[in-house]
Chain A
Amino acid sequence: MNKIEAKNVDFYYGTFHALKGINITIPNNEVVAFIGPSGCGKSTFLRLFNRMNDLIPGARLTGQVLIDGQDIYEKGVDVDVLRRGVGMVFQRPNPFPKSIFENVAYGLRVNGIKDKDFIRQRVEEALTSAALWNEVKDKLKESAYALSGGQQQRLCIARAMAVQPSVLLMDEPASALDPISTAKIEELICELSSQTTIVIVTHSMQQAARVSNKTAFFYLGEMVEYGETKKIFTNPEKEATQNYITGRFG
């Protein structure tokens, strides 16, 4: 079954045509990587799935984006409910100025869950699934800023996972991290893919090759090619893709 489906998506920042006629289907519980040179529109496309681009003045979209068959840009869709179901992890770790525990509990609290024992249990589960529980279980009350960069990013993943999203969007989640932390994040992505559909934007082709089942290549606002990761990296159909993955530009 398809989790996400985009049909003829065009997207504009004011007069700038950022995404051109994109069609894609992302199946349930798969890891899909978006690759391409900077400015190609891959991040913009990712941010359409939780309507993050709504915040930008002058942004305009035509076409349809469906999640679980529901057009998320239709009138009457509650953006907060949508975003609760579509988690997001950002380029740089961005924990809130709160304790570790409160960071993870945040998503539960803002969505009306008040049962303390339940929150405690969910926080533990989320931290465990982000492979952070053992490192922080004794200092849950400490500020999130006391953690290292890699730990902060895993905390942000735990924060996103706490509300059990069915889709997790990751916008270059490892680009600000050292190689060891990056490896941990990649490991985590593979584990989380059993629970949720993951869409990851990445600069690094090796990373895309390591973590994803499917890969889409974006170039100048268009989706040039989309298919099985193995195929994209070994035998791409389009020449532009070939040039990019062999490092001739980008």
Chain B
Amino acid sequence: MKKWIDRIARRIFTLSGFVTSVVILLIIGFLFSEAAGLFRQPIVEEGYVLALNKENDVDRLSAEQIKQLFDEDITNWKELGGKDMPVKVFRLEDLDHLYTEEELGAEYEHAGEKIAEQVRQTPGIIAFVPKVLVEGERDIHLVPDHTIPIKDVLLGTEWYPTATPSPIFGILPLLSGTLWVSFFAILIALPFGLAISIYLAEVAPPAVSKVLKPVIELLNGIPSVVYGFFGLAVIVPLLQQTFNLPVGESGLAGSLVLALMALPTIITVSEDAMRNCPRTMREASLALGATHWQTIYKVVVPYSVSGITSGVVLGIGRAVGETMAVLMVTGNAAVIPTSILEPLRTIPATIAAELGEAPAGGAHYQSLFLLGVILFFITLIINSCVEIVSARNKTKR
């Protein structure tokens, strides 16, 4: 009896030991399968086609070109390598201006003919219409649709996930926004983090560091949405006044908040690393006539450099993945940032802001999962860096 319980318990323990591995596998599986769907989506909205005049020999349009055509940024087919004729944009609702209800039929049964008529009449036309209406029509040129190319997503510089007829999912603005904010956050947090960890590990009397450490841990415990709220209520108006900005929501506001949030991680990890520096190493330096400060920056910091690096990298990870605070203070403009004082948008903020509106299974939904996959990979790389650094640290000793 006793043995049976022991054996069953062992099984349960063993099974649960792998729970984190299973969860990670599940996360990878579900994120990937949703994200991969994006590259099977047509670039034009499902169920719709782009119809051209038979004379028009343009055969392949990218999502970006389609957007430019419909925004009337491209006004002549020449620009796309076609014939020299002006572009005429045609949408379904234009039908109502051109024809009476009777002509179209009560059930829109004649709409297909009329669209085809328009297309045949206008050489430079591009019509964005439902596929079912024009399917049987002859003498029009339907632009063959293709799936969203990976290259356009990964290297695309525009993010218009809700544009019609064809949304654009270029992730570069979001990726650069994320890196930009995180970079400045670390730039701000690094001097503070190093100074404070040195102070705590080396300079401060034990009584002082005993008080300071819980304070810093507390900083870690404050929920990110509270940081975001504080940023919104205090930092954003402050920045707007100081730099005379049209809006205070900016990359800098995000960086400041993130710096504050990354600090505790940087400090605790680096401080631990410095405390691990052997006492005799310090004494050897002091015994040669070095001052305490010389000892710190010539011996203690080089000795614990891998631990400090781990702390900084973990801080970067925290900054890259942070969602709510950034969402609340960065202004969320999906453009490649040129200045830290402009609004920008990060990957996590994009997911949080848009997933609620994206219909499940659609291209937009899947593109947000792709962002999740990218985020997952970034953090995985960051974690691996930390593992490698600390593994090297172990062999050194």
Interface residue ranges, A against B (CB under 8 Å): 50, 52, 55, 57, 80-81, 83-88, 90-92, 94, 96-98, 106-107, 109-111, 145, 156, 159-160, 163, 169
CA separation between A201 and B299, bound complex, in Å?
Answer: 26
> Assuming A110-B294, A163-B289, is B302 touching A98 (CB within 8 A)?
yes
Q: Which residues of A contact B303 (CB under 8 A)?
A: 96-97
- B304 (CB) vs chain A CBs: closest residue: A97
B contact patch SS: helix
Contact call B206/A107, Cβ cutoff below 8 A:
no
B283 located at the interface, meaning its Cβ lies under 8 Å from any Cβ of chain A in the complex: yes
- B291 (CB) vs chain A CBs: closest residue: A80
Q: Which residues of B contact A57 (CB under 8 A)?
A: 206
- B283 (CB) vs chain A CBs: closest residue: A52
B215 located at the interface, meaning its Cβ lies under 8 Å from any Cβ of chain A in the complex: no
B132 located at the interface, meaning its Cβ lies under 8 Å from any Cβ of chain A in the complex: no
Contact call B284/A90, Cβ cutoff below 8 A:
yes
Q: Which residues of B contact A111 (CB under 8 A)?
A: 288-290
B363 shortest CB reach to chain A, Å? 53
Q: Which residues of A contact B278 (CB under 8 A)?
A: 94
> Assuming A97-B302, A98-B302, A106-B298, is B288 touching A159 (CB within 8 A)?
yes
B280 located at the interface, meaning its Cβ lies under 8 Å from any Cβ of chain A in the complex: yes
Contact call B285/A110, Cβ cutoff below 8 A:
yes
B286 located at the interface, meaning its Cβ lies under 8 Å from any Cβ of chain A in the complex: yes
> Assuming A110-B294, A110-B298, is B288 touching A92 (CB within 8 A)?
no
> Assuming A110-B294, A110-B298, is B281 touching A163 (CB within 8 A)?
no
Q: Which residues of A contact B284 (CB under 8 A)?
A: 88, 90, 94, 96, 156, 159
> 8 Å CB contacts to A: which residues of B347-378?
none
Q: Which residues of A contact B299 (CB under 8 A)?
A: 96-97
B15 located at the interface, meaning its Cβ lies under 8 Å from any Cβ of chain A in the complex: no
B287 located at the interface, meaning its Cβ lies under 8 Å from any Cβ of chain A in the complex: yes
The number of chain B residues touching the other chain, given as a range, is: 10 to 19
> 8 Å CB contacts to A: which residues of B284-330?
284-291, 294, 298-299, 302-303
Contact call A90/B289, Cβ cutoff below 8 A:
no
B278 shortest CB reach to chain A, Å? 7
Q: Which residues of A contact B280 (CB under 8 A)?
A: 90-92, 94
> Assuming A96-B299, A97-B303, A110-B294, is B285 touching A163 (CB within 8 A)?
no
Contact call B289/A52, Cβ cutoff below 8 A:
no
CA separation between A96 and B281, bound complex, in Å?
Answer: 7
> 8 Å CB contacts to A: which residues of B244-289?
278, 280-281, 283-289
> Assuming A94-B280, A106-B298, is B289 touching A80 (CB within 8 A)?
yes
Contact call A110/B281, Cβ cutoff below 8 A:
no
Q: Which residues of A contact B294 (CB under 8 A)?
A: 110
The proximity string for B residues 181-213 relative to A, scoring 1 for CB distances below 8 Å and 0 otherwise, is 000000000000000000000000010000000
Q: Which residues of B contact A83 (CB under 8 A)?
A: 286-289
Apart from the given pairs A50-B287, A107-B290, 12 other A-B contacts in the complex at a CB distance below 8 Å? A88-B284, A90-B283, A94-B280, A94-B283, A94-B284, A96-B281, A96-B303, A97-B303, A106-B298, A110-B289, A110-B294, A111-B289
Q: Which residues of B contact A84 (CB under 8 A)?
A: 288-289
